[in-house]
Amino acid sequence: QVQLVESGGGSVQAGGSLRLSCAGSGYVFGYFCMAWFRQAPGKEREGVAAINSLGDGTTYADSVKGRFTISRDNAKNRLYLEMNSLQPEDTAMYYCAADLTRRFVDSSPGLGQYEYTSFGQGTQVTVSS
């Protein structure tokens, strides 16, 4: 059974940093693209950052470029999101996602939620001004 479990969320002041982590299990973690999504109250879920299976291709939403960094450790079955210079508009539930339909993608993956087949339960990030 595929499981994605996020951790690392919390409350910070504007300008602060957080590091999110996602543990994947139930599948061969290193085969597939992964991504982070977020959803704020009253808004649609949006893709934040994505990474290919080897970690050498990444994609970022314009709103987080230069502030967020996605990475992965396939030996530990872990996905990370380093978030710096956090702003109140970054407040949302953050979800880890996996695209389990395509193996060994070597290009930079997309940020559309329909490209991903499995999502975790989420971890809350709250940024106060």
pLDDT at 104: 84
Could you count the other beta carbons within 10 Å of the beta carbon of residue 109? 23
| Percent of the chain clearing pLDDT 90 (strictly above) | 95
pLDDT at 128: 97
Place of tokens 């590091």: 19
* CA distances from residue 112 to 5, 46, 47 in whole angstroms, order as listed: 20, 8, 6
Note the pLDDT of residue 113: 92
pLDDT for 44: 96
Radius of gyration of the chain (CA): 14
Tell me what pLDDT residue 17 has. 98
Three-class secondary structure assignment of the chain: CCEEEEECCEEEECCCCEEEEEEEECCCHHHCEEEEEEECCCCCCEEEEEECCCCCCEEECCCCCCCEEEEEECCCCEEEEEECCCCHHHCEEEEEEEECCCCCCCCCCCCCHHHCCEECCCEEEEEEC
Strand partners, 34: 51, 98
Instruction: Give the per-residue pLDDT at 89.
Output: 96
Low-confidence ranges of the chain (pLDDT < 70): none
**For residue 119, what pLDDT is reported?**
97
Percent of the chain with pLDDT over 70: 100
The pLDDT, as a whole number, for residue 107 is 87
> Could you give the 3-state DSSP secondary structure of residue 52?
coil
C-beta separation of 14 from 87 below 8 A: yes
